[in-house]
Structure 1
Amino acid sequence: MLSDVLGLSTAESETYRALISVASATPAELAESVGREARQVVCILGVLEDRRLATRSLGDPTRFVASPPAAALQALLRQRQNELKRAELELDSLDKIYRSAALGRGVGDVIDVIHGTEAIRERVGQIQLGARKEVMNFVKAPVFVVGNRTDGAVIARGVRYRVVLERPVPENAMLNEGVPSFDEIARARAAGEEVRFAETVPLKLFIVDREFAIVPLLGRTDAAPAEALLVYSSSLLDALIALFESEWEKATQFVTSAGALQNASGIDDLDAQILSLSLTGLTDQAIAAQLRGSLRTVQRRVRHLMDVAKVQNRVQLGFQAARLGWLEAERDAPGPHEATATATRRKTVPSVATPSENSPRKL
């Protein structure tokens, strides 16, 4: 529609289309053709004249003729293109101002200190909302930033999310407070996040666009941090990025369906989920709790996985799973900013993983 592309209103677009279909027309004739009042059509013709899309007939000034679309609309299109270019330049300028103001730093600063848990939460949400390319996150218990509302919208823009989760501590419920459940992780993956597990992660960390990072400063292990470092482009930020990449490569893949496993036959979705949780170091009891199933079922499935892998214990199962390359497809998959990869991942997530714009973002 011309109204969409060139900025004409629906009424203006309809009137112009009616006018180019006849040699000439009076306002009354056009009003009857488009089903509008003659008074309204007179005003519309005035707009079309101003835009050089219509002109009065030389032989009869009471009649109007349409300007040739190829000439008139090309000029209008070029005008719109120029406006869009100016808008892009203005947007880039505004974005730089916004990002600088949002981060609250001076040009020469390398590190700022954020004081107060609420201020840290607010700043994490703010820089996440401004993410353009990639977010990298270490999640280490206890979690204090939960459920930032921007994840789904940011991922939908094409931002890649990579998360390394420290596995829960079975014997310490306090340390596990806020740690995402299996269902939450599955929803996050369905929304486009790439999730891996590690025995431990060295620190809480949140990196955006490889331009800045937030590092909460922890005191007692059971308390939320009261301060955090905001690190800008520097050798320190480079070191934090390298640390994330190193831990990401070592972390265990997290799968939610058998379709995500490679070179594995005789394994269904529940087997794949139990294998994934088992490789994170969780006990059978903890796996049963995560999947809301029975301990006996988990133990039976683990035994089945050992039989498939032709091993005798869980340590050998982990080694054999790695040797057989069951998880290699996940490791080599491109990020969710590539639409095809995202679509493929979503197809492999079981029904429990309903996509949500509120997928958990934790720190």
Structure 2
Amino acid sequence: MIDDRPLDAMGLDGGHAVVYRRLLAAPAASAAELAAETALSPGSVGQILDELELAGFVARQASSPHRFVASPPSLVMRPLLVEQERRLAAAHETLVELSAVYREGAALRAVPDVVDVVVGADAVRQRLGQLQAAATERVDVFVLSDVALVASDDNLEEERALARGVRYRTIVETGVLERAGFMDAAKQAALDGEEVRVLPALPTRLFIADGDIALLPMASHGPGQADGALLLHKSGLLDLVDATFETSWRAARPLFAEEGRDSAEDRELLSLLMIGLTDAAAAAQLGISLRTIQRRVSELIELAGVSSRFQLGAEAVRRGWL
């Protein structure tokens, strides 16, 4: 089966990726041969080969100019990587500069300025997306029974955050369980690493990113709830909101009982971490994903009632988990 997944990192879309992948697996091929082996027309293949040749991804055989060979991926990608690294370095310098400016301004803020008002449903959805896109460790969420700030199907930033290892802890009201399709979506989210718990009622909608910034609607209920929101910055008020979530999380019950959780697996994971293996090395040793390892460690820390991996090791020994 021909792999038509785009090679975005190399700047290739689906059709170009098909031709380049096929050439990588063959000593050489003509446009007609490639068209016969793919779902592309001869005309499309010819145009793609011209574009790939211009971009340096393929070259013509000296002895048979109508036949093409693929350039080594390492040779093609090296200049792309160098350019991306240059842009990332420039972006990082800009981030450092702007963050310094922001801190200077934040130091001059009056007490009311720790809260920004976001007006309009579109602006609220935009801030919600930015909040999740900027998260690096965790996102904590309250979900009420009535209409959400943004439909789950439209919340692409959550999928992206989960994919890069951000931990999602979501508390839903009992009424949310009655939404059509919710349970199926929640099961898939659980497979992706999201933890979902349930309480009979919650005070408001809430999103907290990394404990550093929070978004909650100006009106928790009623028709105008999505028309505006409050963005809370570091302050005693944010600490109070964060503590409210933690208290609710401890009181909530898990939506799903843990399936397939083997204490022997946890003991093996703890043993590997105790001897100094990194998360990545432990994942490779156990044959599971890095994200799963990180989630299990977070769960064990929470189960042990400690706040660090070092304390987890000591507590695991004390409790006889090892």
More helix by share: 2
More relative contact order, 1 or 2 (CA 8 Å, 6+ apart) = 1
Q: TM-score, normalised by structure 1?
A: 0.44
